[in-house]
Amino acid sequence: MPFSYLSAPDVETALRAVADDEDTKLLGGGTNLVDLMREGIERPAKVVDITRLPLGEIKNLPDGGVRVGALVRNSRLAADHLVRTRYPVLTQAVLHGASAQLRNMATVGGNLLQRTRCLYFYDGAAACGKREPGSGCDAIGGFSRNSAILGTSEHCIAAHPSDMAVALAMLDAVVEVRSVRGTRRVPIAELHRLPGDTPHVETTLATDELITAVELPAVPVAANSRYRKVRDRASYAFALVSVAAALGVEDGTVTAARLALGGVGTKPWRATEAERVLLGEPATDEGFLRAADAELAAAATTPHNHFKVELARRTIVATLRRLVPDGRDEESTI
């Protein structure tokens, strides 16, 4: 389908273009938008290419954090020395997503805004409230093996597909957003919306806003962090369940805990209930399991994806166990 194209030479030009026309889309690496345009799901009248904007740097911040330009390619983010040493969970999450070719193209901002891979979202003959507002949800009662179990509504159970965003949720990243109206900073927990009765409204961003950077705060415990992903094949598949975790342990007691889940939530899922249970408890499989159960108590499952509850329990425990100093990587004792 035809559209007009503009390669934005500077940020201001890009912002004016999206401010002037709601049917204008910003184009980064293209790995999601180009596909969705070809499928007829996204139909912009105009596409503004932002890949030539100067938003491709990774910088050390004075407070020990890191600022990542929105156009940093996923592969560059994963390979960055600061990211690898301060936030190994983020490097691992990115490397567990997509393929090397796609990571070389995809941008950090685009990854955050990628749309669901729910089969019914892609199937033009199916009912999908994300694609056609108010049309219902054929995933409910349909083939829902890949669907979410947390944050769902009667209007949508689509899982959020990003691995990177799960690590960013765990790290309390802050998303810097610009428009012709100015600059604002959005905590990642407030970037993605639960589907509720408007599943087509996926983020809290306005149509004229551009993500310019993602800031990672200093998170000392993240030096001891991991990302574990379980999927239907060993590589290059979306998560059934994934876990991003960081753990601080002193004398066998959890002194700091961060946990986020992928593949199970309608948005990148920060597991605050589990974190609350973990803190101050013994760093044992039993304690980890109690934390997992606290988070998963709210799960709403279908016959097809009920297995994700048990899979998430086991994956949470296995991931946390590896983060205990001198931790074991063997069969569970539970």
Partner 1 sequence: MEISLRINGSAETLEVQPQVSLLDALRDQLGLTGTKKGCDQGACGACTVLSDGARITSCLALAVQYEGHEITTIEGVDHPLQEALVRADGLQCGYCTPGQICSAIGMLAEHKEGMASAVTEDDEVDELDEEEIRERMSGNLCRCGAYNGIVEAIKEVAG
113 part of the interface to partner 1, by CB under 8 A: no
202 in Cβ contact with 130 (< 8 Å): yes
Residue 121 host element (H or E):
helix 119-122
Asked if 38 touches partner 1 (CB under 8 A), the answer is yes
Rounded Cα distance, 48 and 4, in Å? 9
| 322 interacts with partner 1 by CB under 8 A | no
At what angle are helices 285-296 and 307-322 packed, to 10 degrees? 140
List the one residue from 10, 22, 23, 35 that touches partner 1 (CB under 8 A): 35
CB of residue 191 vs partner 1: minimum separation in angstroms?
A: 24
Interface map 223-252 toward partner 1 (x if CB under 8 A): -----------xxx----------------
* By the rule CB under 8 A, 98 interacts with partner 1: yes
Cβ proximity to partner 1, 235 vs 330, nearer residue: 235
Contact, 166 vs 227, CB < 8 A? yes
Q: How far apart are CA 245 and CA 228, in angstroms?
A: 9
Q: Using an 8 Å Cβ cutoff, are 310 and 316 in contact?
A: no
Q: What's the rounded Cα separation, in Å, for the pair 259 and 247? A: 9
Residue 54 binds partner 1 (CB under 8 A): no
Among 26, 27, 137, 292, binds partner 1 (CB under 8 A): 27
Task: Measure CA of the first residue to CA of the last residue in the chain; give whole Å.
Answer: 56
Angle 313-272-310 (CA atoms, 0-180°, nearest 5)? 10
Query: Is 253 near partner 1 (CB under 8 A)?
Result: no
Shortest Å, Cβ 301 to partner 1? 28
Neighbours of 40 (CB within 10 A): 10
Least separation, in Å, of the C-beta of 243 and partner 1? 14
In the block, tokens 């297995």 appear at 307
Q: Which stretch binds partner 1 (CB under 8 A): 3-11, 56-64, 150-158, 264-272?
A: 3-11
Closest approach of partner 1 to the CB of residue 273, in Å: 28
Instruction: Report in angstroms how near the CB of residue 78 gets to partner 1 at its nearest.
Output: 7
127 binds partner 1 (CB under 8 A): no
Q: By CB under 8 A, is residue 329 in contact with partner 1?
A: no
How far is residue 334's CA from residue 320's CA, in Å, rounded to a whole number? 14
Single-letter amino acid, residue 38: R
Q: Does 323 bind partner 1 (CB under 8 A)?
A: no
Asked whether position 37 contacts partner 1 by CB under 8 A, the answer is yes
Q: Which of 90, 105, 247, 249 binds partner 1 (CB under 8 A)?
A: 105
CB 55 within 8 A of CB 213: yes
> How far out from the chain centre does Cα 209 lie?
19
The residue within the footprint of partner 1, chosen from 71, 102, 137, 170 (CB under 8 A), is 102
Binding mask 58-97 for partner 1 (x = CB under 8 A): -----------------x--xx----x---x--xx--xx-
Mapping DSSP onto H, E and C, the string for 303-316 reads CCCCHHHHHHHHHH
For partner 1, the binding residues (CB under 8 A) are: 1-5, 7, 27, 30-31, 34-35, 37-38, 47, 49, 51, 75, 78-79, 84, 88, 91-92, 95-96, 98-102, 104-105, 234-236
